[in-house]
């Protein structure tokens, strides 16, 4: 198969897709022998791609295998069956006892999970709605036990059956039905049914938007470059993959070492430059740092052949080279968020292997270097699923953000899908715009080749922490990194679970500060000072110190109220060498490098 990375120019859609097909190779597991691909296999891939479009990219193999494995072992476990019968009897007795106690002095026998807000309305505490709620929660509790680990059952299959049982139960929750939900009934009576009419209009609008894949402009007050992503700066470098933004100084002098932020390519960069009050970029610039930010392009089918190595070389390393030209003879504080942190870790390990010491420090925010405990995103990621996604991307040239968003939403379907649907379609309430909500809706794509490499090499085969991830033909190791690290995890992260992020300490020997903060994957990072109800835990591990497991670490660390940003700022201060006058927004002799004002053009791509 051709190793070309350049594609011939063509104006026809069919020609573009055919070229993309030729440039995205089938990735085979290491060590396996593969014969040349027969042209008839394109027919197989086309059929699977069509099926993937209908299913949203979800393969059915893992579902069938999980339920078959669970049913087989459950049939051979009469002891577990008796346990389930007894559990059902105890639950029924609890419910009857609670109903018989008309005073309801005691606590309800079942309660929703902390993130489940479907039953927050006071109406759910009144008859008969309370019994419907408790009956549903009792059923949920029973299925949690039924799908618990079972001797002989594959642990992954146990987790998968639990996940699927929860999804099925969520679909039939009484909160989803207008005639069983007291909040909907009360609203319908109070408005004379106007809520249902408004909800029908909302549903029609969302349906047409989904079918047409139309991209809506941000609402008034949330314009990109005016209200969001509005920290002043200049684009100082651009290639086909990314733009590099240099933010204008807000202090007379700045720290000698600049900061380079590498965001994830799965999202627009301005999650770290939202509104002025919660912009991490604005905070850092205001504290006297020179900040550079990578803004990734939103790839199309024409860029299907972009690889992980392209993102490292023409993204991270190209940005670093430009920063060195603008701020010569200074090391750089490198910061990576989510997948951008994983890419930064790969780049840093590669630099360390080659003796490149240009990084003063490395900060990883909600970023994983080991994917063995990557949470529920791993539940259905197997060879069949990856091949299914590869064939879909082979057909369209990229993985679209809505296709990824569905996977993220199902992990917390109680709140992210059903609570929103009830509020929008049955209560007739519009989604109140927020800066983060606008950012979430500003979808991006992932190029086919890069995403396939990422899924296989990192998620499926976990090569980075296993010492099997090769860059330029040679394996890299996280233990080669000598620069001090600052690693942040969030307590409620369902994308990069904090115990998975914590394992960075297991695969590195450098001086490392670890922070566990309240909040989720985004809210825990966008954690500006002054916001109430926030806390964090923090520790320092000196170079070469012994490893402490996450549970033991958690037991030893008391929560500290407030934001972790000031602690990070102080840590960066300690790792800096002093101050200097602010650098110009271009390299010496390269005045043309200032292309356009921030936020640039790539952030506006849809």
Q: For residue 580, give the CATH number of its domain.
A: 3.40.50.1820
- Indicate whether 589 pLDDT > 80: no
Distance of alpha carbon 166 from alpha carbon 169, whole angstroms: 5
Distance of alpha carbon 476 from alpha carbon 107, whole angstroms: 55
Q: What is the pLDDT of residue 56?
A: 59
Per-residue pLDDT, averaged over 209-238, amounts to: 86
For residue 80, being part of any structural domain is answered with yes
- Size (the chain), residues: 606
Same domain, 166 and 259: no
Boundary residue ending a domain (191, 220, 249): 191
Q: What is the pLDDT of residue 11?
A: 37
Distance of alpha carbon 328 from alpha carbon 589, whole angstroms: 13
For residue 515, being part of any structural domain is answered with yes
User: Residues 370-409: pLDDT tens digits?
Assistant: 998 876 666 767 776 777 677 666 666 556 655 555 555 5
For residue 398, being part of any structural domain is answered with no
User: Residues 133-162: pLDDT tens digits?
Assistant: 999 999 999 999 999 988 899 888 888 898
Q: What is the pLDDT of residue 460?
A: 84
DSSP 56-69: TT--SHHHHHHHHH
Per-residue pLDDT, averaged over 162-173, amounts to: 89
Which one is catalytic: 297, 338, 510, 586? 338
Q: What is the pLDDT of residue 228?
A: 95
Q: What is the pLDDT of residue 548?
A: 94
Distance of alpha carbon 148 from alpha carbon 294, whole angstroms: 44
Q: Please give the angle made by the CA atoms of 416, 389 and 421, to the nearest 5 degrees.
A: 15
- Contact assessment for residue 24 and residue 304, using Cβ atoms and an 8 Å cutoff: yes
- Indicate whether 15 pLDDT > 50: no
Q: What is the pLDDT of residue 1?
A: 36
Same domain, 249 and 327: yes
- Indicate whether 41 pLDDT > 90: no
For residue 120, being part of any structural domain is answered with yes
Which element (helix H / strand E) includes 256? Answer: none
Confidence band, pLDDT 50/70/90 cuts, at residue 110: very high
User: Residues 59-71: pLDDT tens digits?
Assistant: 677 788 889 999 9
Q: Please give the angle made by the CA atoms of 596, 597 and 600, to the nearest 5 degrees.
A: 75
Closest CA to 580 of 287, 285, 291, 290: 290
Distance of alpha carbon 412 from alpha carbon 422, whole angstroms: 15
Distance of alpha carbon 396 from alpha carbon 412, whole angstroms: 28
User: Residues 281-330: pLDDT tens digits?
Assistant: 999 999 999 999 999 999 988 888 899 999 999 999 999 999 999 999 99
Confidence band, pLDDT 50/70/90 cuts, at residue 40: low
Distance of alpha carbon 78 from alpha carbon 65, whole angstroms: 22
Which element (helix H / strand E) includes 313? Answer: none
| Domain carrying residue 187 | 62-191
Q: What's the token pair of residue 590?
A: 């390269």
Per-residue pLDDT, averaged over 354-358, amounts to: 96
Q: What is the pLDDT of residue 22?
A: 37
Same domain, 354 and 278: yes
Same domain, 292 and 349: yes
For residue 409, being part of any structural domain is answered with no
17-48 burial: b if 16+ Cβ within 10 Å, else e: bebbbebbeebeeeeeeeeeeeeeeeeebeeb
For residue 513, being part of any structural domain is answered with yes
Distance of alpha carbon 499 from alpha carbon 548, whole angstroms: 12
Q: What's the token pair of residue 255?
A: 């720290």
**Distance between alpha carbon 374 and the CA centroid of its chain, in Å?**
11
Same domain, 486 and 589: yes
For residue 214, being part of any structural domain is answered with no
- Indicate whether 585 pLDDT > 90: no
Per-residue pLDDT, averaged over 580-585, amounts to: 86
363-380 burial: b if 16+ Cβ within 10 Å, else e: bbbbbbbbbebbbbbbbb
Strand partners, 79: none
Q: What is the pLDDT of residue 395?
A: 60
Q: What is the pLDDT of residue 133?
A: 94
Q: What is the pLDDT of residue 405?
A: 54
User: Residues 558-581: pLDDT tens digits?
Assistant: 999 999 999 999 999 999 998 888
- Indicate whether 175 pLDDT > 90: yes
Q: How many CB atoms lie within 10 A of CB 497?
A: 22
Q: What is the pLDDT of residue 10?
A: 36
Q: What is the pLDDT of residue 50?
A: 64
- Indicate whether 12 pLDDT > 50: no
Boundary residue ending a domain (174, 191, 208): 191
Same domain, 181 and 76: yes
User: Residues 191-208: pLDDT tens digits?
Assistant: 999 999 999 999 898 888
- Give SS3 for 597: strand
Average per-residue pLDDT in the chain? 85
Same domain, 291 and 354: yes
Same domain, 265 and 358: yes
User: Residues 418-452: pLDDT tens digits?
Assistant: 788 888 889 988 888 899 989 988 888 888 888 88
Same domain, 487 and 595: yes
Boundary residue ending a domain (167, 191, 215): 191
Q: How many domains does the chain have?
A: 2
Which element (helix H / strand E) includes 157? Answer: helix 155-171
Same domain, 141 and 254: no
Q: What is the pLDDT of residue 62?
A: 75
CB contact set of 228 (below 8 Å; sequence gap of 6+): 218, 222, 270, 273, 274, 275, 435, 438, 439
Same domain, 494 and 368: yes
Strand partners, 485: 362, 512
DSSP 66-115: HHHHHHHHHHT-HHHHHHHHHHHHHHHHHHHHHHH-TT--SPPS----TT
Q: What is the pLDDT of residue 5?
A: 37
338 is annotated as an active-site residue: yes
CB contact set of 541 (below 8 Å; sequence gap of 6+): 505, 511, 512, 513, 514, 548
Q: Count of H helices and E strands in the chain?
A: 22, 16
Closest CA to 440 of 210, 271, 221: 271
Q: What is the pLDDT of residue 16?
A: 40
To the nearest whole percent, how much of the chain has pLDDT over 90? Answer: 56
**Distance between alpha carbon 202 and the CA centroid of its chain, in Å?**
27
Distance of alpha carbon 415 from alpha carbon 166, whole angstroms: 13
For residue 344, being part of any structural domain is answered with yes
Which element (helix H / strand E) includes 398? Answer: strand 398-400
- Lowest-pLDDT range of 33-37, 83-87, 115-119, 365-369: 33-37
Q: How far is CA 185 from CA 39, 123, 188, in A?
A: 59, 10, 5
Q: What is the pLDDT of residue 394?
A: 60
Phi, psi of 209 (to 5 degrees): -65, -40
Same domain, 238 and 179: no
Q: What is the pLDDT of residue 2?
A: 37
């Amino acid at each position: 198969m051709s190793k070309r990375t350049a594609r011939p120019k063509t104006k026809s859609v069919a020609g573009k897709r055919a070229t993309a097909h030729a440039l995205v190779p089938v990735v085979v597991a290491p060590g396996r022998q593969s014969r040349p691909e027969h042209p008839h296999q394109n027919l197989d891939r086309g059929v699977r791609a069509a099926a993937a479009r209908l299913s949203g990219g979800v393969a059915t193999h893992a579902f069938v295998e999980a339920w078959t494995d669970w049913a087989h072992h459950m049939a051979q476990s009469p002891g577990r069956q008796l346990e389930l019968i007894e559990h059902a009897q105890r639950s029924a007795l609890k419910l009857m006892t609670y109903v018989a106690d008309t005073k309801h002095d005691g606590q309800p026998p079942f309660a929703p999970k902390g993130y489940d807000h479907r039953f927050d309305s006071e109406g759910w505490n009144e008859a008969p709605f309370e019994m419907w709620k408790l009956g549903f929660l009792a059923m949920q509790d029973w299925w949690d036990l039924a799908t618990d680990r079972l001797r002989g059952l594959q642990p992954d299959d146990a987790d998968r059956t639990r996940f699927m049982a929860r999804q099925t139960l969520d679909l039939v929750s009484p909160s989803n039905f207008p005639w069983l939900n007291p909040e909907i009934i009360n609203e319908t009576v109070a408005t004379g049914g106007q809520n249902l009419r408004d909800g029908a209009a909302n549903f029609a609008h969302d349906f047409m938007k989904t079918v047409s894949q139309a991209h809506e402009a941000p609402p008034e007050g949330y314009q990109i470059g005016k209200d969001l992503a509005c920290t002043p700066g200049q684009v100082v470098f651009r290639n086909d993959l990314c733009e590099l933004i240099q933010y204008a100084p807000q202090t007379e002098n700045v720290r000698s070492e600049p900061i380079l932020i590498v965001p994830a390519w799965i999202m627009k960069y301005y999650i770290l430059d939202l509104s002025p009050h919660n912009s991490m970029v604005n905070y850092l610039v205001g504290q006297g740092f020179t900040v550079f930010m990578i803004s990734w392009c939103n790839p199309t089918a024409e860029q299907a052949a972009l690889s992980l190595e392209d993102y490292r070389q023409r993204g991270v390393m190209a940005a670093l080279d430009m920063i060195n030209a603008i701020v010569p003879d200074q090391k750089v504080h490198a910061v990576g968020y989510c997948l951008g942190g994983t890419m930064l870790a790969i780049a840093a390990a590669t630099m360390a292997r080659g003796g490149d010491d240009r990084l003063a420090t490395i900060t990883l925010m909600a970023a994983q270097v080991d994917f063995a405990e990557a949470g529920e995103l791993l539940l259905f990621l197997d060879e069949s699923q990856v091949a299914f996604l590869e064939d879909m991307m082979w057909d369209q040239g990229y993985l679209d953000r809505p296709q990824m968003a569905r996977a993220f939403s199902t992990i917390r379907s109680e709140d992210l899908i059903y609570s929103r649907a009830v509020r929008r379609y049955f209560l007739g309430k519009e989604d109140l715009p927020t800066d983060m909500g606008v950012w979430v809706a500003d979808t991006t794509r992932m190029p086919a080749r890069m995403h396939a490499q990422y899924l296989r090499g990192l998620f499926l085969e976990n090569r980075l922490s296993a010492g099997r991830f090769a860059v330029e033909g040679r394996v890299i190791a996280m233990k080669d990194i000598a620069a001090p690290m600052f690693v942040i995890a969030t307590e409620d992260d369902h994308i990069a679970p904090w115990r998975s992020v914590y394992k960075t300490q297991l695969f590195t020997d450098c001086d490392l500060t670890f922070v566990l903060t309240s909040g989720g994957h985004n809210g825990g990072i966008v954690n500006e000072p002054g916001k109430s109800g926030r806390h964090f835990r923090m520790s320092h591990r000196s170079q070469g110190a012994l490893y402490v497991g996450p549970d033991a670490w958690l037991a030893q660390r008391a929560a500290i109220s407030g934001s972790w940003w000031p602690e990070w700022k102080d840590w960066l201060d300690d790792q800096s060498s002093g101050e200097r006058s602010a650098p110009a927004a271009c390299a010496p002799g390269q005045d043309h490098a200032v292309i356009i004002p921030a936020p640039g053009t790539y952030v506006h791509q849809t």
